[in-house]
Structure 1
């Protein structure tokens, strides 16, 4: 058995090759609870390895992922935990957000005969595990990892969540006619801020807007001067990309300097635990969202809510739920033949927590709705409300050339 790993090369992902949604949705549609096509009487376990963050900086995301997975598995198998007559046997491994630990865990699982690996809470982890899938011809379904590099990295790699390009397309929905408009990216210095700035330039800048960047040192704790610069920029939209404990002070400064009242400020909504960091500024923001509780209402959403602690759905619960749906589909159609699993997923459309989802055949991007939201309430009662569901056709990243 081949078990090795190489770093995924950095590459440009914005190759513009359009794909009509009509073509994407002509592939076979089927229910996530469809009966498996396994021979009657086969009780060999379907072994699934889940490598995700149980501890570490992304442990909160990991907790949501595994809760979503369990609810999704129950939904997709109609409560049996089986694909046909075969039980789904799950082994969970903690990568602690460390790519090296994730690679070691994935290699170990592959060595034990696992042909299905899922998880990857973080992008750095997904980027290191994905090559193993191609090298060993196992199915890999990445989770909350948002890196665009996961899309099209190889034929054996899929994703159950959204990617960064879809986030920025959601932001662009607030500026339907970008030509002649001015957009300011207000972000922290470093990889996170730069990646967001690059994406905004690629998506919104290429549509005709002028995009400028205002990078704030990651070590900054006083933001009045930066907030004043943001206001003086007189932008039609300010896109804020921020993470960490300085967020409350940053939002307070933007509010005190009148930025939030003078222009449209767009930012992404994180998990519930972060909502309080917006403070009094929360209700003045335009939110883009991968997901939040209340963004959708369907059979899958109801099933997820019943399977989540306290019924409180969070940002990455859908990613675990969707992964279970995809793996039940793959195993049901492909049995133990990984290439058949891949074929079963390519072009597949199904109803998920977020709504209609489609696995794009060409590069395995997961086409899905995104959401606009607004905060209401204040303090501990602050919560997002749905403004608009963005159709998958309006949140579709460009096709990339499949590698490997």
Structure 2
């Protein structure tokens, strides 16, 4: 249901970097465990290659993903690291944010007998790994990469995180479907992509979409703030990244934009919580995950395991955890990649964010999203849940084959 800001309806727009309580329930029965062997009686290891950014521009996101994945594998195998009596042999490989390096790793792992490839935070790398999956008929489960391009790209490609269209759909819950939305972004491929996504999702629902694109090297934001005010929009969707973020938010705040209309942006990882300064309590945030968003046994299991291992749960922890659940469920089918695909298509399960379903037609991972706010906590800021957006309301449009 679409609601106005005054009703605290939810949104969470998504930078590739980031974007009530989940209904409590019974924890999903862990898949796998130490059984007596698969259908063929094999006791050989199940080889899994995880290609992710341990280093590079998104290295911190990669580390968060890996901690979640290790927790998810432990949870889904009930601590045995085995599936039907076969040990999981998981190899972690650093792509460093480089697509060629990632492809080399994938080919090497497939050559060594891996039937499952997972990982990457980088959208461009996800597309390259999806190509390898189709060419070699192995299962690929993408990580936090949010690109919509891998939705339905081939039979062998799935994802364990959310995608940008889900961020945009969540953003749409902050306004009426026929309202006016300004997309305020840098005039880059990233900014233009957000404009296109908002037009595709919210424009299709009847919204009037007006882009206001700012040169990437801009440092003075007063004239652009005035354009936003003159647009008299029902909602301003901000998609911004980089070193000018602080100055941009200060400019919007000083010119009164945050007092005039609903301003929505994506809430990233915990390192960004202090970036909005005094504007923090005037911004509505769409969110993919933060540890306090969900009150369910699976989320508790994930948080407890990550903390016990010395880590800190963060934005992309569930992407790794869910990947672990999906890997184990697929591996229960043995070494047949087509059987793995069939097992994942249409599968519903309980994960850290609540109930997930893998849509059979295009492999979109349907999942709840969240509305959040930042509240002052001493000298810092912390997120609080405002509303859960249902998996159905946040679902991306179905991609026809």
Q: Quote the residue 1:340 is aligned against.
A: 339
Alpha-carbon contact 1:347-1:359 (below 8 Å) kept: yes
Shift of 1:39: 5.0
Query: Is 1:191 matched up with 2:186?
Result: no
Structure with more relative contact order (C-alpha pairs < 8 Å, separation 6 or more): 2
Secondary structure of 2:275's counterpart equals: helix
SS at match of 1:344: helix
Q: d(CA) in 1 for partners of 2:31 and 2:155? A: 25
Kindly state the Cα deviation for residue 40 of structure 1 after the two structures are TM-superposed: 9.5
For 2:219 and 2:245, locate their aligned partners in 1 and report how far apart those are by CA, in whole Å.
10
Partner-residue secondary structure (3-state), 1:394: coil
TM-score (norm 1): 0.89
**More off after superposition, 30-39 vs 379-388:** 30-39
What is the CA–CA distance in structure 1 between the aligned matches of 2:379 and 2:356, rounded to whole Å? 33
SS in structure 2 opposite 1:161? coil
Aligned to 1:272: 270
- Does the residue aligned with 2:396 lie in a helix, a strand or coil? coil
Cα shift at 1:307: 2.2
Check if 1:239 corresponds to 2:237.
Answer: yes
Could you tell me how far apart the structure 1 residues matched to 2:381 and 2:227 are? Answer: 28
What residue in structure 2 maps to residue 217 of structure 1?
Answer: 215
Instruction: Determine helix, strand or coil for the equivalent of 1:218.
Output: coil
C-alpha RMSD of the superposition: 1.7
Q: Aligned-pair distance for 1:380?
A: 4.8
Query: For the residues of structure 2 that align with 1:262 and 1:312, how far apart are their CA atoms?
Result: 37
Distance 2:243 2:219 in 1: 10
Report if the CA contact (8 A) 2:53-2:96 is conserved. Answer: yes
CA distance in 1, matches of 2:58, 2:282: 28
Secondary structure in 1 aligned to 2:100? Answer: helix
Question: Aligned to 1:276, what secondary structure does the other structure show?
Answer: coil
Written as runs of structure 1 = structure 2, the 5 A alignment for 1:153-172 is 153-172=153-172
Matched residue, 1:293: 291
For 1:217-261, what per-residue CA distance to the aligned partner results, in whole angstroms no more than 9, with x for missing partners?
111122122122212221110000001121111111111111001
Q: For structure 2, which runs of at least 5 residues remain unmatched after alignment?
A: 1-26
**Equivalents in 1 of 2:296, 2:43: separation in Å?**
32
Task: Give yes or no for contact 2:39–2:334 (8 Å, CA) kept in 1.
Answer: no
Q: Residues 251-262 of structure 1: matches in 2 within 5 Å? A: 251-262=249-260
Q: Residue 32 of structure 1 contacts residue 329 of structure 1 at CA under 8 Å; is this kept in 2? A: no
2 CA distance for matches of 1:80 and 1:171? 40
